[in-house]
Amino acid sequence: MWNASDKTIVFPGVEGDRLVFCPAKSLSDFTQGSFGIAEPHNSQPIPMTNIDLILVPGLVFDRYGYRVGYGKGYYDRLIETHPNVITIGVCLDEFFIERLPSEPWDARVNFVATQLGIFKTECEVL
């Protein structure tokens, strides 16, 4: 059981072109969803105003919080439309690099977590 605290833990699911987050208490609360990824089923999405922190998956992150994801822009849109939610990118240390190329629509995470620690991303100097 992953919810041993008084916090509600929610998991992402795809609804159209956006992510929604639903609670799940055990693995039996999941079914195969979009892109073959397990998603919670049979529960109502939690409003984004009730979410404090999001762990953001990615293939590679840089020190400025940019990432290479899976190409659909779900997390970029989510971060852009909910800037007050804390975001932590998660990757292996060898995939946490100095700098990635970025586009104007790329959204940045606030922190990056690797097996070596949690790192605050740097402000971008233009």
Percentages of the chain per state (helix, strand, coil), in multiples of 5: 15, 35, 50
Domain total in the chain? 2
76, containing H or E segment: helix 74-81
The one-letter code for the residue type at 30 is: F
Indicate whether 35 and 74 sit together in one domain: no
Indicate whether 87 and 105 sit together in one domain: yes
Query: Do 95 and 60 form a contact (C-beta atoms < 8 A)?
Result: yes
Residue 104, φ and ψ in degrees, nearest 5: -60, -30
Indicate whether 28 and 66 sit together in one domain: no
Parallel/antiparallel/unpaired status of strands 96-97 and 60-62: parallel
CA dihedral defined by 113, 114, 117, 122, rounded to 10 degrees? Answer: -50
Quote the domain boundaries for residue 98: 52-126
Sheet holding 60-62, edge to edge: 67-68, 60-62, 96-97
Q: What is the pLDDT of residue 42?
A: 81
Q: What is the pLDDT of residue 13?
A: 93
Residue 40 is assigned to a structural domain of this protein = yes
Write the CATH number for 56: 3.40.50.10420
Indicate whether 75 and 119 sit together in one domain: yes
Indicate whether 39 and 57 sit together in one domain: no
Name the DSSP letter for residue 50.
G
Indicate whether 119 and 61 sit together in one domain: yes
Q: Per-residue confidence of the chain (126 residues) as pLDDT tens digits? A: 455 567 788 999 999 899 999 998 889 999 998 888 899 988 899 999 999 999 999 999 999 999 998 778 999 999 999 999 999 999 999 999 999 999 999 999 999 999 999 999 998 655
Q: What is the pTM of this model?
A: 0.88
